[in-house]
Amino acid sequence: MPYDFDLFVIGGGSAGVRCARISAGHGARVAVAEERFWGGTCVNVGCVPKKLLVQAGEYAAWVEDSHGFGWDTKPGHHDWRALIAAKGREITRLNGIYRRLLEGAGATIFDARATFIDRHTLDVGGKRITAERIVIAVGGRAVLPHIPGAEHGIISDAAFFLPEMPRRVVILGGGYIAVEFAGIFAGLGAEVDLVYRQPLPLRGFDADLRDALAEAMTAQGVRLHPANTILRVEPAGGGKNVTLADGSVIETDLVFFATGRVPHISGLGLEEAGVTVENGAIPVNDEFATSQPHIYAIGDVTDRLNLTPVATAEGHRLADRLFAAHDRNWNFAQVPTAVFSSPPMATVGLSEDAAAALGPVDIYLTKFTPMRHTMSGRGRKTVMKLVVDQPTQRVLGAHMLGDDAPEMMQGLAIAITAGATKAHFDQTVGIHPTAAEEFVTLRTRTRVAGVAQAAE
């Protein structure tokens, strides 16, 4: 039977837009539906606006830092509403870019919700539309925890639209979003309490960086409450009382829950299409196919590696596989990532613990005050680390906490993806004076890890 489209993409975020655009470029008849906002979480309530807020929070510290260089600058008044309005204008501009990319490629756009009627048929804003292949790229959503009084707090989406800047904030969570917003609010002058279950924030990251981040956040004035959680939230006058598991009570203006995200699959009608769901996510094979071979899922809805560039790469790869004769070989095994904390963190490859579980590794670690802060007097340290496979001397992981860490890590990711060894790093001439040169001047091994595991 003839179908209305060769490919229908549900979701106009990073994964869906890339898949639709590249597929249309290959000559396929493509449609894409988005019910909320073009660009998805990243552009609207994620990576992009969050980094703009991070940058806003840095200026106050820069005013103080400038005094060490002879400036007599004075702290000014921050206008939260002006920041949110400027952020909104930038997001609107990006929304338009996403639409124009799709239109320019020849894709049909629906500003509507799409749900399954059967395996090849969708209800798109009340219209019945058929497609030979369908891609589910609806992303994820933040959720409130099951805590008494949780309705008195917010999730990350709402943080980008607060009408006023809170003066006191309690954040629950120890992941990306929690530590980033702790830095944002502290940088803008709020009193911040960060509560998390683990001994250190950012579970899964290298332990040395987690230690260094906790130290840096404390130096910034963020009050840390490790190995703790929120038992309940209660209104109190114009604010809230937050009771922690250790019995302490914190008075605050805003409670921010950053306790995780789940795939946004509710109400899609997956059961009508026979698409299997496991643990709240859509499982896929190596070809991104679901339990129905003509229905695919990409991006955060699969709950595998929930990063925007990964979603974009998956969308591109699927489009090439479906409608072109080639298949780009993306490296999903060593994906670089950054946390825009204060200071930022970045990493690529294996942590020390993960590498040591596979065999003996050489660890190279340095911690120092960067050149800027020897003058500014700010107590901000930089930490750099290389994890090297002992038998082959291949660099398995690079990790950094410090100014410009994300910018540096992109280049290191290329080297590690290419299989660089420690000798390659040692043979590389550094750029002086930079912090980046420390990665090629780490001559003295700090320690050896993983020997015991290898012996077993």
CATH number, domain with residue 387? 3.30.390.30
φ, ψ for residue 346, nearest 5 deg: -150, 150
292 three-state secondary structure: coil
User: For residue 21, what pLDDT is reported?
Assistant: 97
User: Is the separation of the CB atoms in 27 and 152 below 8 Å?
Assistant: no
Domain boundary among 272, 290, 323: 323
User: For residue 453, what pLDDT is reported?
Assistant: 52
User: For residue 439, what pLDDT is reported?
Assistant: 98
Mean of per-residue pLDDT scores for the chain: 96
Q: What pLDDT, in 10s, does the model give residues 208-236?
A: 999 999 999 999 999 999 999 999 999 99
User: Is the separation of the CB atoms in 57 and 342 below 8 Å?
Assistant: yes
> What Rg do the C-alpha atoms of the chain give, in angstroms?
24
What the block records as the tokens of 154 is: 């917010």
Instruction: Looking at the structure, tell me whether residues 126 and 269 fall in a common domain.
Output: yes
Calculated CA dihedral for residues 349, 354, 360, 366, nearest 10 degrees: 60
H helix intervals, 106-164: 156-159
What the block records as the tokens of 306 is: 């929930």
Which residues, including other chains, have CB under 8 Å from residue 82's CB and lie 6 or more apart?
A: none
What the block records as the tokens of 369 is: 């005050």
Sheet holding 249-252, edge to edge: 230-236, 239-244, 249-252
User: Is the separation of the CB atoms in 315 and 137 below 8 Å?
Assistant: yes
Does 191 fall in a domain? yes
In 47-139, at which residue ranges do the beta strands (DSSP E only) sit?
108-110, 114-116, 121-124, 127-136
Which of 149, 360, 349, 340 minimizes the C-alpha distance to 249?
149
> For residues 113 and 410, what is the distance between their CA atoms, to the nearest angstrom?
36
User: For residue 208, what pLDDT is reported?
Assistant: 98
Tell me the residue range of the domain where 286 lies: 5-142+262-323
Instruction: Looking at the structure, tell me whether residues 174 and 71 fall in a common domain.
Output: no
What the block records as the tokens of 289 is: 């196919």
CB crowding 34-47: b at 16 or more within 10 Å, else e: bbbbbbbbbbbbbb
pLDDT interval class at 70 (50, 70, 90): very high
For the chain, percent of residues with pLDDT exceeding 70:
99
Instruction: Looking at the structure, tell me whether residues 78 and 10 fall in a common domain.
Output: yes
CATH number, domain with residue 158? 3.50.50.60
What distance separates the 2 farthest-apart alpha carbons in the chain? Answer: 75
Domain boundary among 242, 259, 276: 259
What the block records as the tokens of 431 is: 């750029």
Q: What pLDDT, in 10s, does the model give residues 279-300?
A: 999 999 999 999 999 999 999 9
Instruction: Looking at the structure, tell me whether residues 15 and 130 fall in a common domain.
Output: yes
Residue tagged active-site, from 77, 146, 326, 432:
432
φ, ψ for residue 65, nearest 5 deg: -60, -35
Q: What pLDDT, in 10s, does the model give residues 74-102?
A: 999 999 999 999 999 999 999 999 999 99
Instruction: Looking at the structure, tell me whether residues 198 and 296 fall in a common domain.
Output: no
What pairs with residue 130 in β-bridges?
121
> For residues 276 and 134, what is the distance between their CA atoms, to the nearest angstrom?
15
Does 169 fall in a domain? yes
Tally of structural domains, the chain: 3
399 has catalytic annotation: no
pLDDT interval class at 405 (50, 70, 90): very high
Instruction: Looking at the structure, tell me whether residues 273 and 349 fall in a common domain.
Output: no
User: Is the separation of the CB atoms in 40 and 47 below 8 Å?
Assistant: no
Q: What pLDDT, in 10s, does the model give residues 224-281?
A: 999 999 999 999 988 999 999 999 999 999 999 999 999 999 999 999 999 999 999 9
> For residues 230 and 173, what is the distance between their CA atoms, to the nearest angstrom?
10
Does 355 fall in a domain? yes
Instruction: Looking at the structure, tell me whether residues 123 and 164 fall in a common domain.
Output: no
Instruction: Looking at the structure, tell me whether residues 55 and 39 fall in a common domain.
Output: yes
Which residues, including other chains, have CB under 8 Å from residue 72's CB and lie 6 or more apart?
A: none
> For residues 393 and 387, what is the distance between their CA atoms, to the nearest angstrom?
9
Residue 452 has pLDDT above 80, yes or no: no
Ramachandran class of 204: left when φ > 0, alpha when ψ lies in -120 to 50, beta otherwise: left
Does 209 fall in a domain? yes
Length of the chain: 456
Kindly state the helix (H) or strand (E) to which residue 372 belongs, with its residue range. Answer: helix 371-376
Does 279 fall in a domain? yes
Does 415 fall in a domain? yes
pTM over 0.75: yes
User: Is the separation of the CB atoms in 160 and 142 below 8 Å?
Assistant: no
User: Is the separation of the CB atoms in 254 and 171 below 8 Å?
Assistant: no
Instruction: Looking at the structure, tell me whether residues 13 and 57 fall in a common domain.
Output: yes
Q: Helix 176-187 crosses helix 207-220 at what angle (to 10 degrees)?
A: 20
φ, ψ for residue 13, nearest 5 deg: -90, -160
Instruction: Looking at the structure, tell me whether residues 135 and 9 fall in a common domain.
Output: yes
